[in-house]
Amino acid sequence: MNIPNQITISRILLIPVFMVFMLVDFDWGTITLFGATMPVNHFVGGLIFIFASLTDWVDGFYARKYNLVTTFGKFLDPLADKLLVSAALIVLVEMGFAPSWVVILIISREFAVTGLRLVLAGSGEVVAAGGLGKIKTTAQILAIASLLLYNTIFVSIGVPFGEIMLYIALIFTLWSGWDYFYANRRALLASK
């Protein structure tokens, strides 16, 4: 297994670690950054999420630079992103930081696109992430990271950045999902 795929697998393995820090009350006290006060374990969990999210860029950069792009990586990388984002969004609902209807729409789109990829893979086609999908992922990560870190930096100026980004992420999530299905409609209809 090549290094980019190992990095992708490490992102998947960080998900339960992230969830433990976000959902278990370690009673380590609180930390205040730029006017935002949060439990220390949530701060650590937020940093783990950011680190895991950055590995997506690292594995993609490394795979392209050293020509290590594999079919396995094309499937595993978006799956790792979906698992990480879905886990974080569910945590945000649990914490009361994200509306469940938004999270349901985002996760439903992720499952639908994964299903599309599986159907097309049966026909021998591999659908890599497109431009809208990358914008969608970036918007989701910015929204989630900001919400996990209690809107740090933006609290002092009174801007609900995380909430705004969550709705922007929802728009790009639905738009990119429609784009995937529209772009692959012929292959999808022709599949057996």
Domain range summary for the chain, segments of one domain joined by + = 3-190
Residue 169 and residue 141: Cα distance in Å, rounded?
9
Domain 3-190 in CATH 3.65.10.10:
no
Alpha-carbon dihedral sign for residues 157, 158, 163, 167: negative
pLDDT in tens, 22-31: 999 999 999 9
Amino acid at 54: L
State the DSSP code for 155. G
pLDDT in tens, 7-52: 999 999 999 999 999 999 999 999 999 889 999 999 999 999 999 9
Q: What is the mean pLDDT of residues 109-137?
A: 82
